[in-house]
Amino acid sequence: MALYNKLSPSAAEKLRAIVGDGRFQYGETVREEYSHDEMPIYGRFLPEAVCLAESTEEVSAILKLCHEENVPVTVRGAGTGLVGGCVPVAGGIVLSTMKMNKILSYDMNNLVVHTQPGVRLCDLAADALAHGLMYPPDPGEKTATVGGNVSTNAGGMRAVKYGVTRDYVLAMTVVLPDGTIMKLGKTVCKTSSGYSLLHLMIGSEGTLGVITELTLKLVPKPRMDVSLILPFCDIATAIASVPAIKLANLDPQSIEFMERDIVDSSAAFTGNAVFPTVVNGKEAGAYILVTLVGDSEAELTAKMDRLGEVAEKAGAYDTLVVWTDGLKKDVWAARSAFLTVIEAETKLLDEMDVVVPVDRIAEFLVYTHDEAVRQGVTVRSFGHAGDGNLHIYCCSNDLEEDEFKRRVKELMDRCYAKCTEFEGQVSGEHSIGHAKKAYLRESVGETAYGLMGAIKQVFDPKGILNPGKVCHDWEGGALDA
Amino acid sequence: MLNILVCVKQVPDVNLVKIDPVTGSLIRAGVPAILNPLDANALEAGVRIKEQYGGTVTAITMGPDQAAEALRECLAAGADRAVLLSDRAFANADTLATSYVIVTAAKLLGEFDLIFCGKESLDGATGQMASQLAERFDASQLSSVLSVLSVDEEKKTVVAERELAGGVETALSTLPCLMTVEKTKLRPRIPNLKSWKASRTAQILRYHSQTIPGIDPEQIGDPGSPTKVPRTYPPEKGPGGEMIREGSAVKDVEKLLGLLADKL
Amino acid sequence: MLNKNDCKDMWVYVEHEGGKVLPVSLELCCEARKLCDAAGEKLCAVVVGELHRSEIEKVLLCGVEKLIRVRGTGYDYFNVDAYAELFTKLCRKYHPSAVFVGGTINGRDFAPRFACRLPTGCTSDATQLVYDPRTGDIEFIEPAVGGKMMAVITVPVMRPQVGTIRPGTFKHVPSGARSCELIEETIDFDVEKIRTKVLDFVPDEVDESLNIADAEVIVCVGNGLKGADTLPRYRELAELLGGKVGCTRPVFDRGVLPYKLVIGQSGVVVKPKLYIAFGVSGAVNHVTGITDSDVIVAVNRDPDAAIFGYATYGIVGDMDEVCDAMIAQLKARK
């Protein structure tokens, strides 16, 4: 039985009428890039049409039509996801938010910004800074849209101090699958007012509704900050320092870890060898990168002193001070380039975004490396040491794709099981999409997974919004029926 | 023991400087002042020589009080002492007057074997300072140096690789020698906590026109500068061509490629 | 000190290499010719060392009225010591009003040095030269502060007015030979006093992608470039168009592309048939390097970007998106 209909030519013309010729792609004009995200290993699915909406009203009209026509709608931002979340696996149309890219207004009294969802994170961050404010969530992928960030509850490098995207969403406008427009949340910081549909929407990966406007909380920009690089002999020693750093009462803004080989690759790729590889005559095998913020140089110096002591006890080769703006830019640019570097160097790529308790990070990484060796797959990792969120990339340049997939599945089955054993999470910030559904189910158990499915059913009884994702099972075959 | 001098400059981050659309003047407020990036490479070159052969590295700059921050950056990254030449009378100096002040003051500090400069500054970008410093130090001169290969203290020579238009030259010069440094292998080091902290409280040697004996007031600042800047103006906007506005990138490009048909 | 009105003649140092006069020297002769016409002064070329008659002819065709030929020891290969001393001596003897030197590595080394020794004022990288009959001074006009403003620089009292000028800034359009006075000088420089010796020279491996000066099509990426990872599409586009990739100064400063690809005042001057600027703001120090392009296409997110002022065609939009669309459509045509 076909669950969904194909987009009929007449329905396509109606969509064209809604968004206009210039923002509509249909049939042959649909661009290939809409068939995948940054993890093409999970398959390519070309949509039947693409609508680049510009307003809530357009989104509403599109959804109303598709709801009536029983055509799937997959929302897509910048397409920088890593789990196939924005890929139309069941066909239908892609609804792009990229033209909803305006920052609408600032409320300087209440420290909030109203924005459309298609604004890129880097643009929002820069614009907020120009207003003397900071948008704290800071995921590595700066060209992602804020809408995408909210839909995946993205975390990023500053989560250890400021929390994640969820903590900065105060309100939003959402269009439900049948086209109903709804506002959720208010511009206030507290609520004890019934079930939080707002928070249900955050991290729901476009399966419950389409976000068309956001009210985000900002904070005053910290007066001063400094980053410190702690080089270690190996990753286990590096990670072992993290609990002590957290205990030192420094309130760090971020604690990142990186292994030597990815630092080397980043240096070769960007031409900017900013991380020293030999420190005090010793080869560094891994690094911890800490950022501290404060009101004055004296405050920062006191914090740095404490960090220096902790680092030395933990076996760091030295404590390097990234003080000048130019150096900060270089260091963080190198850090932000890691995924890009891996993508550039690797033919076949898959990833895990697990979260484990901070004191199990090293153990988990060792386990993963050992398993990878057994499977003959290269593993490269970096991530947020402060919150236990690890980005682990499985890479191969010589295996056949099917063989790679088989081995990576084997590897991941074991690693996710280990993660569950460690009381960890399947994904910290990249989400589930269609790639990690089975691991989610395994991890949360049947009861929770069933509840998630039931919630999806309440919001989207026809299942037209981003089918086949998170907890929604779609049997496939509709398009061929 | 080599006596090494590194001449540095604090510059506004020109990429962040904006122009007032009404008055056409520069908006410098809020634009961070930074150590001229190539000067950081020059410092690294000097510090590496010190580490290999022994010696001391002195960083020197002429500028306002705030330029001390650039010197602290040098101290953190390996300079042993820092000298700030600051006086209203030094203001509005061109390269001739600036080189005069720096060299006159530097001669109070001793005789230098090696002098390093960045190849040019981010803001002025004349690239003339080094030649004029070399002239006033009566030093040999190696520009666009990629790396210093060796220093022979006995024979008083230095061998360095230079980047020229079509290749890399290896050249030998006698000491004292002034070298300008390219943005290349000489990446400045990141200071450790100890040296960073030391740099924040270190004493900076300060001179002004009254404390440099024998300095000729006619050769400093505006009077000492043969080049003048009688006026500046915002660059004229071009007349502009045809804007293509077809509603989407794909259609814009279709139209463009049509217009360019005879060029492709 | 001499009165500046007693200083006459504008000089161009004729730099030659491998028996050939460098184009920049011919460009300077042609531009200085115009200044001399405006000032009523004579254009004088200074040739140091042996140079074949046919090459001298090229110089004379630019309207040279005096030729100083210098022979002597110490000039066989370029060295700052001999050349700085030579020009100090020549200037002290003949009192030119101006000396123009090509902004090559060598020119930029010795010109400020002899200016300092004389002493007089020295400027570098002017993109326009204007004679001001009111003051009798040359206005050296150049982009300043990263090209955000134009600065007029003069040397109002001292002489000569020394300027180094980048290759490609001016055009080599010979105005024809004039009657020319020949002055022969023999000035020896003690070779023992040359402080720098060349030990070795290793030519760069010829990487044609780095030679953009003569490219017919140039795809230029500016500071709007999101990151090194977005570069491949521009390389692909350049390849499809049979051209090369260039960049603006900030892209080099960010460490994304090598210096040899920098187009503009502090880089290469280009003259392609088609120049496409992606994410280029249009700072004047970049624009000075592209104005001789036949067609300039600008793509920028900012509709107010200065680059649109110089463009033949402009598209406001995301640079990557436009580039991708161009690649797709060019491929479809082939």
| CATH number of the domain within which A436 lies | 3.30.70.2740
The pLDDT of residue A477 is 40
- Mean pLDDT value across residues C195-220: 89
Give all chains having 3 or more CB-to-CB distances under 8 Å with chain A.
Answer: B, C
| DSSP at A67 | H
| DSSP at B90 | G
The pLDDT of residue A480 is 34
- Distance between CA atoms of residues C208 and C211, nearest Å: 5
pLDDT tens readout for residues A368-401: 999 999 999 999 989 898 899 999 999 998 999 9
Q: Are residues A181 and A280 in the same domain?
A: no
Of A229, A308, A325, the CB nearest to B190: A229
User: Which of 49-78 (C) contact B at CB < 8 A?
Assistant: none
- Distance between CA atoms of residues B124 and B8, nearest Å: 13
Q: Are residues C62 and C158 in the same domain?
A: yes
pLDDT exceeds 90 at position A313? yes
- Distance between CA atoms of residues B47 and B189, nearest Å: 10
- Strands C137-144 and C149-154, bridge-based pairing: antiparallel
Q: Kindly state whether residue B146 falls inside one of the protein's structural domains.
A: yes
pLDDT exceeds 90 at position A220? yes
| DSSP at B262 | G
Q: Kindly state whether residue B250 falls inside one of the protein's structural domains.
A: no
Per DSSP, the residues of C248-307 read: -HHHHHTTSS-GGGBBSTTSB----SEEEEES----HHHHTTTTT-SEEEEEES-TT-GG
Q: Are residues C31 and C167 in the same domain?
A: yes
The tokens describing B38, both together, are 């190539």
Give me the number of domains chain C comprises.
2
pLDDT band at A2 (very low <50, low <70, confident <90, very high): low
Q: Kindly state whether residue C244 falls inside one of the protein's structural domains.
A: yes
Q: Are residues A228 and A216 in the same domain?
A: no
Chain A residue closest in CA terms to C255: A271
- Distance between CA atoms of residues B247 and A24, nearest Å: 11
Mean pLDDT taken over chain B: 92
Among the candidates A68, A99, A130, a domain finishes at: A99
Q: Are residues A94 and A57 in the same domain?
A: yes
Q: Kindly state whether residue A426 falls inside one of the protein's structural domains.
A: yes
The pLDDT of residue A481 is 29
Among the candidates C193, C218, C234, a domain finishes at: C193
Distance from CA of C316 to the nearest CA of B (A): 8
Q: Are residues C90 and C128 in the same domain?
A: yes
User: Which of 152-181 (C) contact B at CB < 8 A?
Assistant: 152-158
Q: Are residues A390 and A434 in the same domain?
A: yes
Of the candidates C250, C249, C244, C252, the one whose C-alpha atom is nearest the C-alpha of residue C270 is: C244
Of C226, C255, C328, the CB nearest to A272: C255
Q: Are residues A317 and A209 in the same domain?
A: no
Cα–Cα distances (Å) from B26 to B120, B201, C14, C124, C281, in that order, read 21, 33, 38, 21, 17
pLDDT band at A336 (very low <50, low <70, confident <90, very high): confident
Candidates B39, B193, B244, partner chain A, best to mutate (most A CBs within 10 A): B193
- Mean pLDDT value across residues A324-347: 84
Residue B242 pairs in a beta bridge with C313
The CA dihedral of B57, B60, B66, B69, to the nearest 10 degrees, is -20
pLDDT tens readout for residues B110-142: 999 999 999 888 887 788 999 999 999 999 999
Q: Are residues A213 and A246 in the same domain?
A: no
3-state secondary structure of B26: strand
Among the candidates C193, C220, C237, a domain finishes at: C193
The CA dihedral of C222, C226, C229, C233, to the nearest 10 degrees, is -60
Lowest mean pLDDT among A99-103, A462-466, B240-244: B240-244
% of chain C surpassing 70 pLDDT: 99
Find the CATH number of the domain harbouring A32: 3.30.43.10
Distance from CA of B203 to the nearest CA of C (A): 32
Contact criterion met (CB < 8 Å) for A319 and B32: no
Q: Kindly state whether residue A241 falls inside one of the protein's structural domains.
A: yes
Q: Are residues C45 and C137 in the same domain?
A: yes
Contact criterion met (CB < 8 Å) for B37 and C120: no
Q: Which residues of B touch A297 (CB under 8 A)?
A: 200
Q: Are residues A45 and A81 in the same domain?
A: yes
Candidates C201, C275, C284, partner chain B, best to mutate (most B CBs within 10 A): C201
Contact criterion met (CB < 8 Å) for A274 and B197: no
Q: Is B34 on the interface with A (CB under 8 A)?
A: yes
Q: Kindly state whether residue A36 falls inside one of the protein's structural domains.
A: yes
Contact criterion met (CB < 8 Å) for C204 and B132: no
Classify burial at B66, counting beta carbons within 10 Å of its beta carbon; exposed 0-12, middle 13-18, buried 19 or more.
exposed
Lowest mean pLDDT among A99-113, A411-425, B181-195: B181-195
Of C227, C229, C255, the CB nearest to A271: C255
pLDDT exceeds 80 at position C2? no
Q: Kindly state whether residue B243 falls inside one of the protein's structural domains.
A: no
The pLDDT of residue A326 is 84
Q: Kindly state whether residue B247 falls inside one of the protein's structural domains.
A: no
Find the CATH number of the domain harbouring B186: 3.40.50.620
Q: Which residues of C touch A31 (CB under 8 A)?
A: 328
Q: Which domain holds residue C28?
A: 4-193
- Prior bond of B176 cis (ω within 30°): yes
Of the candidates C234, C195, C196, C231, the one whose C-alpha atom is nearest the C-alpha of residue C218 is: C234
Q: Which residues of A touch B13 (CB under 8 A)?
A: 325
Find the CATH number of the domain harbouring C94: 3.40.50.620
Mean pLDDT taken over chain C: 92
| DSSP at C205 | P
3-state secondary structure of A375: helix
Rounded to 5°, angle at Cα C256 from C255 and C261: 100
Give all chains having 3 or more CB-to-CB distances under 8 Å with chain B.
Answer: A, C
A 10 A CB-CB count for A309 gives: 14
Chain C residue closest in CA terms to A327: C254
Q: Is B76 on the interface with A (CB under 8 A)?
A: yes
Q: Kindly state whether residue B264 falls inside one of the protein's structural domains.
A: no
Q: Are residues A314 and A293 in the same domain?
A: yes
Q: Which domain holds residue B157?
A: 2-219
With contact defined as beta carbons under 8 Å apart, do B213 and C286 qualify?
Answer: no
pLDDT band at A27 (very low <50, low <70, confident <90, very high): confident
Q: Which residues of B touch A22 (CB under 8 A)?
A: 246-248, 251
pLDDT tens readout for residues A178-191: 999 999 998 887 88
Find the CATH number of the domain harbouring A167: 3.30.465.10
- Distance between CA atoms of residues B182 and C266, nearest Å: 14
The tokens describing C329, both together, are 């459509």
With contact defined as beta carbons under 8 Å apart, do A174 and A210 qualify?
Answer: yes
3-state secondary structure of A330: helix
Give me the number of domains chain B comprises.
1
Of C197, C266, C295, the CB nearest to B263: C295
Q: Kindly state whether residue B252 falls inside one of the protein's structural domains.
A: no
With contact defined as beta carbons under 8 Å apart, do A139 and A203 qualify?
Answer: no
- Mean pLDDT value across residues A188-203: 90
- Strands A286-294 and A224-232, bridge-based pairing: antiparallel
Contact criterion met (CB < 8 Å) for A308 and B193: yes
Among the candidates A313, A338, A363, a domain finishes at: A338
pLDDT exceeds 90 at position C131? yes
- Distance between CA atoms of residues C105 and C107, nearest Å: 6
Contact criterion met (CB < 8 Å) for C228 and A31: no
- Distance between CA atoms of residues C266 and C279, nearest Å: 19
Q: Are residues A198 and A121 in the same domain?
A: yes
Q: Kindly state whether residue C326 falls inside one of the protein's structural domains.
A: yes
The tokens describing C313, both together, are 């065609």
Q: Which residues of A touch B122 (CB under 8 A)?
A: none
Mean pLDDT taken over chain A: 92
Contact criterion met (CB < 8 Å) for C309 and B237: yes
Q: Are residues C107 and C135 in the same domain?
A: yes
Contact criterion met (CB < 8 Å) for B251 and A322: no
Q: Which domain holds residue A122?
A: 103-220
User: Which of 149-168 (B) contact C at CB < 8 A?
Assistant: 159, 164-168
pLDDT exceeds 70 at position C220? yes
The CA dihedral of A24, A29, A33, A34, to the nearest 10 degrees, is 50
3-state secondary structure of B28: coil
Find the CATH number of the domain harbouring C231: 3.40.50.1220
Q: Kindly state whether residue C285 falls inside one of the protein's structural domains.
A: yes
Candidates C254, C320, C323, partner chain A, best to mutate (most A CBs within 10 A): C254
Among the candidates C161, C193, C225, a domain finishes at: C193
pLDDT exceeds 80 at position A272? no
Chain C residue closest in CA terms to B250: C325
Of B143, B231, B235, the CB nearest to C152: B231
The pLDDT of residue B32 is 85
The pLDDT of residue C129 is 97
pLDDT tens readout for residues B19-74: 776 666 777 777 889 999 899 999 999 999 999 999 999 999 999 999 999 999 99
Residue A96 pairs in a beta bridge with A52, A76
Of the candidates A206, A177, A208, the one whose C-alpha atom is nearest the C-alpha of residue A69 is: A177
Q: Are residues A387 and A296 in the same domain?
A: no
Give me the number of domains chain A comprises.
4
Q: Are residues C37 and C174 in the same domain?
A: yes
- Strands C137-144 and C128-132, bridge-based pairing: antiparallel
Q: Kindly state whether residue B261 falls inside one of the protein's structural domains.
A: no
- Mean pLDDT value across residues C60-88: 96
Contact criterion met (CB < 8 Å) for A320 and B191: yes
Say how many residues make up chain C.
334
Contact criterion met (CB < 8 Å) for C229 and A340: yes
ipTM rounded to 2 decimals: 0.91
pLDDT band at A39 (very low <50, low <70, confident <90, very high): confident
pTM score above 0.80: yes
Q: Are residues C188 and C55 in the same domain?
A: yes
Distance from CA of A460 to the nearest CA of B (A): 32
Q: Are residues A134 and A186 in the same domain?
A: yes
- Distance between CA atoms of residues B47 and B6, nearest Å: 9
Q: Are residues C259 and C316 in the same domain?
A: yes
Q: Kindly state whether residue C198 falls inside one of the protein's structural domains.
A: no
Q: Is B21 on the interface with C (CB under 8 A)?
A: no
pLDDT band at C1 (very low <50, low <70, confident <90, very high): low
Contact criterion met (CB < 8 Å) for B140 and C330: no
Among the candidates A316, A338, A360, a domain finishes at: A338
The CA dihedral of A318, A319, A323, A326, to the nearest 10 degrees, is 50
Contact criterion met (CB < 8 Å) for C328 and A31: yes
Q: Are residues C93 and C224 in the same domain?
A: no
Q: Which residues of B touch C154 (CB under 8 A)?
A: 227-228, 230
